[in-house]
Amino acid sequence: MSSDLEFQIHGNLSKNKTLIKNQKMQNELKQKGYGENNDCDYFLNTFETLYLLYLKKLKLTKGSRIVDFDSLMQFCIKTDEDILTKFLIFRDLRTRGYVVKDGFGFGSDFRVYERGTYGFKDAKFVVFAFNEGTQQKIGKLYKNIVEITKMGKEPIVAVVERRGEIIYYKINKMNFSENKPDFQMKDFEFN
């Protein structure tokens, strides 16, 4: 397990986000595609925090207490039932070298940047997740695909299997033309 960060980050848990106070740490995180500025502060999202804890690249505290991966995951599951799915997809995509940011609100979704384009180009993909065995309405899936395509992004469905493996499907909108026969039937008389 490797990380693209050079040193351990120190953060403070504040509600459901991680506050990073050190300017040098903020700059390195920003350069690697982690976190966001919010007013004057710099925060990591929950799935980013979990990932950095998982890699042991983050020392997280809440007050004087140290928070580890397992206790944060247990806490987050109480308020966000999709956090494990988000973490698994985030971890998989980051491990593959992609910069991953929070999505546009299609459920458990992420904006994903092509390798080497973060900071220079907009995200190319919107990845949204389904857990194996869950039911989804086709109308909602279609609506998401249309909206993502309108934004100029490529929709990708990530299916998280029961064992935690992730399979990605590139989805395209398809229009079907009316199926017409090659010849016209005329009125025939049968004797």
pLDDT at residue 132 in the model: 83
pLDDT at residue 95 in the model: 94
Over the stretch 31-69, which tens digit does the pLDDT of each residue have?
999 999 888 889 999 999 999 999 999 999 998 999 999
Q: What is the model's pLDDT at position 82? A: 86
Cβ contacts of residue 176 below 8 Å, gap of 6+? none
**Which pLDDT band holds residue 119 (cuts at 50, 70, 90)?**
confident
| Predicted model pTM | 0.83
Out of 72-81, 129-138, 160-169, pick the least confident.
129-138
Helix 69-79 and helix 46-54, axial crossing angle in degrees, nearest 10:
160
Contact 53, 68 (CB under 8 A): yes
Neighbours of 136 (CB within 10 A): 13
Please give the backbone phi and psi of residue 126, each rounded to the nearest 5 degrees, phi first: -120, 120
Nearest Cα residue to 104 out of 163, 44, 144: 144
Residue 165 has pLDDT above 60, yes or no: yes
3-state secondary structure of 142: helix
The token duo for 60 is: 């997280």
**Sheet containing 65-67: which strands, arranged edge to edge?**
36-38, 41-44, 17-20, 9-14, 58-62, 65-67
Q: pLDDT at position 128, please?
A: 85
CA dist 121 and 7 (Å) reads 27
Distances (CA, A) of 44 to 15, 52, 159: 12, 10, 25
